A = this chain, B = another copy of it.
Amino acid sequence: MHPPTVEDVARAAGVSRQTVSNVLNAPQRVRPETRQRVEAAIEQLGYRPNRVAQSLRAATSRMIGYRIEPMHPHALGSMHDRLLHALAEAGRAADHHLLLFTADDPLDEVANADALHRAGAIDGVVLYGIQSADPRPAGLRQLRIPFAAFGRTGADDAHPWVDIDNTAGTAAAVDHLVTREHRRIAFLGYPEGVAVGDRRADGWRTALDKHGLLDGSRHLDLRGEDSLATGARLAEALLDHHTPPTAVVAATDTLAAGVLRTVRQRHARLAVVGFDDTPTAGALDLSSVRQPIEAVGHAMIRALLGPGGNEPAGQLLAPELIVRASSALP
């Protein structure tokens, strides 16, 4: 009734346990004839190696911890879902699985990861939503828990991380809008001090400067919390300006959606480009900078498990601008 073990397979194939183990882990060491007999027995009994026993023996769980957060109340649909799927998919290829755990805050996350790690339940951890002054990297490093982070802190990160090139993303948005003959291009972003937000603002500023348009647009830089209401409100402010912009680069789709709301209400003309390419962007026909989350997932898993064992190297991935109707000519 219980699942078959190596023992059962061995008996069925008329060999010893070890030979079965060899067939699985060092096939070249076993005579083809014997191997086929063993393989037939494995097939017939439906044998699968017990991962728990493997883990105990190898002192390796092949599990990666991930803190699942309650959904961000304002976000239109975070990257969470996509990242989780990408990580699970990438992990599968490396024969690892994700183990979900909860935590009240970043410090609690480190504590819970430590407990799981010491209990042998996870080999390492993947960090999401890295903040400028994030306590988690230092905490995990001190506890010697392998990890990889999606995103960077403000400082130079001396641990494995993967990030998308936020600066390049907003720069691409600006380039695109310039091609479409826009000359006054605003930016809507996070309050200063949020690393991601600052990088996205940088891309906008740098690209405008490159096109010689910064002087005419420098004042069109508005910040606020990441919500639809804020996007709508800031858009009003932009449109009420005496030299209003003809286009806006928003730091998130949520802000961009707010802009679109105002634009429609006021029947204004204002091109918009968002960031993240959330499902909503498609629904609203919103041009948006898409993060290559699948690639991020693979890079994270590689950084965590890869050769050299969790080396402190960073990797920057290029986002891609998805052009839709919202970024038309002025």
The reply to whether B52 and A228 contact each other, CB–CB distance below 8 Å, is: no
A26 at the A/B interface (Cβ < 8 Å)? no
In the docked arrangement, what's the CA distance between A118 and B121, Å? 19
A306 at the A/B interface (Cβ < 8 Å)? no
Contact code string A64-107 (vs B, CB < 8 Å = 1, else 0): 00101111111111101110110011001000011111100000
Which one of A49, A74, A119, A283 has the highest number of Cβ atoms from chain B below 10 Å of its Cβ?
A: A283
The reply to whether A121 and B97 contact each other, CB–CB distance below 8 Å, is: yes
Chain A contact residues: helix, strand, loop or mixed: mixed
Interchain CB contact (< 8 A) of A101 among B3, B77, B88, B229: B88
Contact code string A33-47 (vs B, CB < 8 Å = 1, else 0): 000000000000010
In the docked arrangement, what's the CA distance between A52 and B78, Å? 33
Q: How far is the CB of A176 from chain B (nearest CB, A)?
A: 23
Q: Chain B residues with Cβ under 8 A from A243's Cβ?
A: none
The reply to whether A74 and B119 contact each other, CB–CB distance below 8 Å, is: no
The reply to whether B85 and A50 contact each other, CB–CB distance below 8 Å, is: no
The reply to whether B78 and A81 contact each other, CB–CB distance below 8 Å, is: yes
The reply to whether B82 and A51 contact each other, CB–CB distance below 8 Å, is: no
Segment among A55-63, A185-193, A315-323 that sits at the interface with chain B: A55-63
A154 at the A/B interface (Cβ < 8 Å)? no
The reply to whether B121 and A72 contact each other, CB–CB distance below 8 Å, is: no
13 A/B residue pairs, CB under 8 Å, sorted by A = A3-B118, A50-B56, A50-B119, A53-B56, A53-B120, A66-B100, A71-B81, A74-B279, A77-B279, A85-B102, A88-B102, A89-B102, A228-B280
The 10 closest A-B pairs by CB, nearest first: A77-B77, A228-B283, A98-B100, A71-B81, A51-B119, A52-B55, A48-B118, A50-B120, A88-B100, A52-B120
